[in-house]
Amino acid sequence: EVQLVESGGGLVQPGRSLRLSCATSGFAFDDSAMHWVRQAPGKGLEWVSSISWNSDRLHYADSVRGRFTVSRDNAQNSLYLQMNSLRPEDTAFYYCGKDRLRYFDWAVDSWGQGTLVTVSS
């Protein structure tokens, strides 16, 4: 069974940092591109960042470029999102997701349950 479990969310003050983790199992993690997608409470889905199977291709939404960094550890079957200089508008549920392909099909066929990040003073 494919499983993705996010962790690391919480309440943080504006300007501070947070690191999200996504632990995976049940599939060939080192053969899959991965994505981070967020959803502000009561709002729609917003793509955040993507990483190819071997980390040679990294992509970011304009809203987070320069502040967020995506990475992965294939030996640990884990995905990460380092979030710096956090802003109130970054408040959202953050989902990690598995792409269908090792590079990108832009189709997330498995999702975690999400972790809530709240940026507030």
Partner 1 sequence: QSALTQPPSASGSPGQSVTISCTGTSSDVGSYNRVSWYQQPPGTAPKLMIYEVSNRPSGVPDRFSGSKSGNTASLTVSGLQPEDEADYYCSSHGGSDRFYVFGTGTKVTVL
Q: Which is nearer to partner 1, 17 or 113 (CB)?
A: 113
67-89 in b/e burial notation, b at 16+ Cβ within 10 A? ebbbebeeeebbbbbebeebeee
* Size, binding site for partner 1 by CB under 8 A: 23
83 is an interface residue for partner 1 by CB under 8 A: no
CB 49 within 8 A of CB 30: no
CB of 76 to partner 1, least distance (A): 22
Q: Out of 108, 115, 117, 119, which residue is the one contacting partner 1 (CB under 8 A)?
A: 108
Q: Out of 25, 85, 113, 120, which residue is the one contacting partner 1 (CB under 8 A)?
A: 113
CB 7 within 8 A of CB 21: yes
CA atoms within 13 A on the CB side of 15: 1
Separation CA 80–CA 69 (nearest Å): 8
Q: Out of 50, 53, 83, 86, which residue is the one contacting partner 1 (CB under 8 A)?
A: 50
Quickly tell me which residue has 């960042």 as its tokens. 49
Site for partner 1 in 12-41 (CB under 8 A): 35, 37
Q: Which is nearer to partner 1, 46 or 84 (CB)?
A: 46
Q: Which is nearer to partner 1, 18 or 115 (CB)?
A: 115
Check the CA dihedral 119-97-42-48 and report its sign: positive
Question: Interface with partner 1 by CB under 8 A: which residues?
Answer: 35, 37, 44-47, 50, 59, 61-63, 95, 100, 104-109, 111-114
